[in-house]
Amino acid sequence: MTSSPIECGIGYLHVLLIDDHIIFRRGLRQVLLAKFPDLAIVEVGTAQEGLDALGQQKFDLVFLDLNLPDKPGIQFLKEVNGLGYTVPIIVLSVFSEKEFGIRVLQAHGASYLRKDCSNEELYRCVQVVCGGQKHVSDTLGEQLAESVAGGLDALGPYHSLSNREIEILHLFAMGNKPMEIANLLSLSVKTVSSHRTRLLEKLNLRTTAELIRYAIKSELYDNSQ
């Protein structure tokens, strides 16, 4: 896209949209351009394409979906941070804030919003994040208060999972077999099986089918995609 970027408090704004659904990306583009008509936007559909884009040009803001086809969004956040990129990342997802919001902030995300948020909240989030601050929605603020008051146990068993366990839970929920997960994460099948066993123990479940149902019921995975 060749249009001029728009000034947004801290300078000119170039935006990267990372979501595997073209229709959603186009909708988000329209919503953003309605408020910021000169925005410079690049769209990609996978985490790897997002990493490639970040390596090719400088962005001022990234919008990220958590449920990407090649790797979980949380893992993308970790990799971006590990590579030394400081671009603020707003996560927009169908998943519940109660399970993912704090995880996103811990992984150096700038904000977490559900995809059904209002345009006004989205615009407010952009302005706050472009001003160099974290944006916390009312719902996520309540979760943060609970975590301070009662610790992670007050937020449910999901928050006891490691980042690797979260990756594997998501990949199982997406229908991947242990061998496929091992190949995707460069692990042995034995290691994947060990993580699966720990997932079952931590979540008090018995089978892989129950893991998948847990992920869907808790809105940790959107099986409609």
Higher-scoring residue by pLDDT: 84, 175: 84
- Give percent of the chain with pLDDT exceeding 70: 80
Q: Is 124 in the same domain as 205?
A: no
Q: Is 10 in the same domain as 63?
A: yes
Q: Is 96 in the same domain as 16?
A: yes
Residue 194 is predicted with a pLDDT of 95
> What pairing do the DSSP bridges indicate for beta strands 6-7 and 12-18?
antiparallel
Residue 88 is predicted with a pLDDT of 96
Residue 4 is predicted with a pLDDT of 40
Range with the poorest average pLDDT among 18-27, 84-93, 117-126, 170-179: 170-179
Q: Is 194 in the same domain as 94?
A: no
Q: Is 98 in the same domain as 171?
A: no
List, as own/partner pairs, every contact residues 209-213 make where C-beta atoms lie below 8 angstroms and the sequence separation is at least 24, other chains included. 211/169, 211/172, 211/173, 212/172, 212/173
Q: Is 122 in the same domain as 11?
A: yes
Residue 71 is predicted with a pLDDT of 82
Higher-scoring residue by pLDDT: 138, 147: 138
Higher-scoring residue by pLDDT: 225, 61: 61
Q: Is the pLDDT of residue 43 over 50?
A: yes
Q: Is the pLDDT of residue 8 over 60?
A: no
Range with the poorest average pLDDT among 58-62, 80-84, 102-106, 201-205: 102-106
Give the residue numbers spanning the domain of 201. Answer: 161-217
Higher-scoring residue by pLDDT: 222, 214: 214
Residue 222 is predicted with a pLDDT of 56
CATH number at residue 57: 3.40.50.2300
Q: Which two tokens stand for residue 144?
A: 């943060």
Residue 204 covered by a domain: yes
Nearest Cα residue to 110 out of 98, 99, 127, 166: 127
Residue 59 is predicted with a pLDDT of 96
Residue 1 covered by a domain: no
Q: Which two tokens stand for residue 198?
A: 């720990």
Name the band, by pLDDT with cuts 50, 70 and 90, for residue 101: confident
Residue 221 is predicted with a pLDDT of 60
Residue 96 covered by a domain: yes
Residue 1 is predicted with a pLDDT of 35
Tally of domains in the chain: 2
